A = this chain, B = another copy of it.
Amino acid sequence: MKKNATFESAAKDLEQIVSDMEKGDLPLETALAKFEEGMKLYEYCSKKLDEVEKKVTLILQDSQGNLKEAPFGTD
């Protein structure tokens, strides 16, 4: 996985890996490496999503200081 990859490129890589592995004819070492890479990409993307969600929460808290309502995620 490239360092500082964007979420989208990571997602695309993960998708590619899943698609490669679903073809099912990979040598064992390759399959393992792909699986490992896939899991890393998944975690990377998951973390990115968490970060985004956290950032959203912070943005909303900031704006809540200024605004009366607008809780995040209630609708």
Contact = CB atoms under 8 A, between A and B. Distances in A.
A7 B36 contact: no
Interface of A: 6-8, 27-29, 31-32, 35-36, 39, 42-43, 46-49, 52, 55-56, 59-60, 62-63, 66-67
A23 to B, nearest CB: 15
A24 B63 CA distance: 23
Contact of A42 (B46, B49, B63): B63
A41 to B, nearest CB: 11
A63 B14 CA distance: 15
Given A28-B8, A29-B8, A36-B59, A66 B52 contact: no
